[in-house]
Amino acid sequence: MLIGELAEAVGLTSQTIRFYERRGLLPAPHRAANGYRAYDDSSVFRVLFIRSAQSAGLTLAEIGSIVGLRDHGDLPCTHVATLLHDKLDGVRARQAELASLEAELERLLARSRHLDPADCADSDGCHILTEPRRSGRGG
């Protein structure tokens, strides 16, 4: 199986396959006499595993740590569970950030609807984004 065929089979480009190889996510494949990479069906599953892990929000580095355990002969399950747990924490933290950002944007948009653009003229930026300053607070 040539690299383009593997790429086609998994819906990626050849460049991405080589990129994963460089990153250590895919083992160096056998080479034909002409130097071409030669893959078998198991490579398809390896790439699909990478994509599954990515769709679970894992970074390539984290996925690399999973394959690394495999290469070392260890079972990665415990490590994977830890990664997923940490990732879930991170997702929830970012959800909280986005929720407060959403509230802030809604507040600013409500402001913008009852502010008169004519009052904006003297400001450095725009009065929608800067509080009518009483005592300083940024951020």
Q: Hey, what are 59's tokens?
A: 């970074």
The minimum distance between CB 72 and DNA, in angstroms, equals 21
CB of 115 to its own copies, least distance (A): 7
52 binds DNA per the rule CB under 7 A: no
Chain centroid, CA 39 distance in Å = 27
Using the contact rule CB under 7 A, the part of the chain among 56-64, 65-73, 120-128, 130-138 near DNA is 56-64
Q: How far is the CB of 132 from its own copies (least distance, A)?
A: 12
* b/e code 7-26 from CB counts within 10 Å (16+ = b): beebebeeeebeebeeebbb
Member of 10, 24, 26, 54 binding DNA (CB under 7 A): 54
Instruction: Check residue 18 for interaction with DNA (CB under 7 A).
Output: yes
**Which stretches does DSSP call E strand in the chain?**
30-31, 37-38
Crossing angle between the packed helical segments 3-10 and 41-55, to the nearest 10 degrees: 40
User: How far is residue 62's CA from residue 77's CA, in Å, rounded to a whole number?
Assistant: 13
Residues making contact with its own copies (CB under 8 A): 10-11, 42, 45-46, 48-53, 55-57, 66-67, 70, 75-78, 80-81, 84-85, 87-88, 91-92, 94-95, 98-99, 101-102, 104-106, 108-109, 112, 115, 117-118, 120-121, 123-131, 138-139
